[in-house]
Amino acid sequence: MKELMLMKGNEAFAEAAIRVGADAYFGYPITPQSEVMEYLMAEKPYERTGMVVLQSESELGAINMVYGAAACGKRALTSSSSPGISLMQEGISYIAGSELPCLILNVVRGGPGLGTIQPSQSDYFQATKGGGHGDYRLIVLAPSSVQEMFDFVSLGFELAFKYRNPVMMLSDGVIGQMMEKVELSEQQPRLTNQQIDELYPWATTGKKPGKDRRIITSLELDPSKQEKHNLKLQEKYRKIEASEVRYETLQCEDAEYLLVAFGSSARICQKAMDLGRAKGIKVGLLRPITLYPFPYAIVEQLSNQVKGILVVELNAGQMIEDVRIGSHDRIKVKHYGRFGGMIPSPVEVLDALEKQIIGD
Amino acid sequence: MTQNFDIPEIRTPENLVYKKTSVLTDNVLHYCPGCGHGTTHRLIAEVIEEMGIQSEVIGVAPVGCSVLAYNYFDIDMQEAAHGRAPALATAIKRVYPEKFVFTYQGDGDLAAIGTNETLHACNRGENITIIFINNAIYGMTGGQMAPTTLPGMLTSTSPYGRDVQMMGNPLKITELLALLPGTYYVTRQAVHTAALVRRAKKAIRMAFENQKLNRGVSFVEVVSNCNSGWKLTPLQANKWLEENMLPFYPLGDLKVNGELVKKSE
């Protein structure tokens, strides 16, 4: 029988962490995602599954705890919001450089600086283009419902361990705070230490007699070896780009105009699309689910079909750069965004489509 | 001209009085001749061998001169970002409570950039061992002023001596950590004489043994030299350490079995 619950996005993420058999959560409170740790502490997963939950001294502490646990082959995760994620960039770069799997949730709020506690999507560049120092990529998943806040925890860990790469869920204050019905999956057991030893020959679990010691590091002072390491990372990213693109299209079959949006913006655009269709405008919606790897191919394909694209984001125009790359600028690609915590209405989006793309 | 010091007829089993511990690899240490890092590495490795816990230890290397510590210990190790070793160690111990977990950190790493991670790991009472090498200077980057640089001491970023009015005071972080409820054993040792090496080894042994008790952090500071950074010969550096470092950083236990050690004076 289906297990259904009415939950906040942040709570769904926390419950999913327990149910997928995560080993450890480390975090530091910040609005609008503090419910994640509050939920975990209230649920006592250390009693339910043996999962560790620890409130760290800072986001720096939290991400480095994730590093330590991930380097042991454990399923480790953290969550934060924009200013906290900025603080974590050092650790994320080390985790990517050391090729460790982990899951990081960013419930984005408006910036720059202390910004606001209201929703935003202004961390797109940071999430998809690197964020910290060095040439690296995160696999970035963009949930647009509370159900996906739950489901992407399992998917996130699967991808993280498949590629030994950090995965980020790029959510926002809307998705984190709103309540929706969630279908819960069954409780998965945590891996035993023996299973970890067998599955992850790279994990530091204590040197076994007669076996080589295991070292987790991102340091290589010999430039030729460091270049080789970088080439290996790049090869991995090409593999991810070839295999892991995910997106959703709605009413694109006959579309003459296209909205492209992710996360909460995609929800608003879905309504705008319905309003447009009711007015007789043939508009479709493309929702990238993986922001890295970005679905360039479907953008290119739809660019051969539609007359113009409106990219709707809660920022000043970030994903639009990837949409332009995908469309090769063959057709008109415009941006409509609100920022600083402001959220456009569906009518506003349709208005922008009519003014910037159709009427122009 | 190189001289051959290896005389096979002397190198016989009955003449063997000292042997390198198997917990150290055969990699040649990159440390400067006379530096305390090599000695401290050996003591940790010997303790691990004597306790028979090689397969149960996970170490965390810092950023600083000992950034490549994992090349020398034949155990599983993780390389931390600068100052973050106690955060890594916290997580390792939390997910593997039955393992022995230690960090190895210098003064810049532990007492400047990583003060927060150090202080909070100690205050939470993580059941880990922290080995803290204090040579009052940033050795790897070329001898800059450290949080533990003595007043008046010359470094490349205090070329006229550390002016505490302008540059602030040295931080006696070991004294600070001893006051926290989460530390169980806090001691200050040195390794520049044979007698002190023996004493330091006992302290390191106790710091590892304590993890069996699950009572909190065991913290061993090793006051060390940095002859390259101090611009002295190894012997001069040891003398300078005795005359300048030890009066400011006096040796001995600060906290044993969770109790502060009362000073007799």
Which pLDDT score, from 0 to 100, does residue B263 have?
Answer: 74
DSSP state letters, A52-93 = EEEE-SSHHHHHHHHHHHHTTT--EEEEE-HHHHHHHHHHHH
pLDDT of B118 above 60 = yes
CB contact under 8 A, A64 and B120: no
Q: What are the C-alpha distances in Å from B156 to residues A39, B65, B146, B159, B228?
A: 50, 16, 10, 5, 12
**From the candidates B68, B78, B104, which should be mutated to test the interface with A, based on the most A CB atoms within 10 A?**
B78
State chain A's mean pLDDT as an integer: 97
Judged by CB atoms closer than 8 Å, whether chains meet at A90 and B81 is answered as yes
How high is the pLDDT of residue B264? Answer: 62
pLDDT of B265 over the 60 cut: no
CA separation for the pair A272, A259 (Å, rounded): 9
ipTM of this predicted complex? 0.96
> Which ranges in chain A are annotated with CATH 3.40.50.920?
247-358
Contact yes or no for A68 and B88 at CB 8 A = yes
pLDDT of residue B6 exceeding 90, the answer is no
Tens digits of residue pLDDT in B200-232: 999 999 999 999 999 999 999 999 999 999 999
Token reading at A226: 């460091």
Q: Does residue A225 sit in helix, strand or coil? A: helix
- What pLDDT shows up at residue A260? 98
pLDDT at B107: 97
Q: Does B91 touch chain A (CB under 8 A)?
A: yes
CB–CB of B89 and A68 under 8 A? yes
**If interface means Cβ-Cβ distance under 8 Å, which residues of chain A face chain B?**
23-24, 26, 52, 54, 56-58, 60-62, 64-69, 71-72, 74, 76, 90-91, 94, 98, 193, 204-209, 213-219
Q: Do A94 and B81 touch (CB under 8 A)?
A: yes
Query: Where in chain A do CATH 3.40.50.970 domains reside?
Result: 3-193
CATH of domain A3-193: 3.40.50.970
Which residue shows structure tokens 């996130």?
A: A156
CATH number of B22-258: 3.40.50.970
Element (H, E) at A167: strand A166-172
- A-B CB pairs within 8 A amount to 129
Asked whether A32 and A176 are in contact (CB, 8 A), the reply is yes
How far is B249 from B87, CA to CA, in rounded Å? 26
Instruction: Give the closest residue to B237 by CA, choosing from B32, B28, B39, B29.
Output: B32
Residues of chain A short of pLDDT 70, as ranges, are 360
> Cβ A69–B68 below 8 Å, yes or no?
no
| Nearest residue to B251 via CA among B263, B240, B259, B239 | B263
**pLDDT attached to residue B216:** 98
CATH entry 3.40.50.300 includes domain A247-358:
no
DSSP code at position A98: T
- pLDDT of B1 > 60? The answer is no
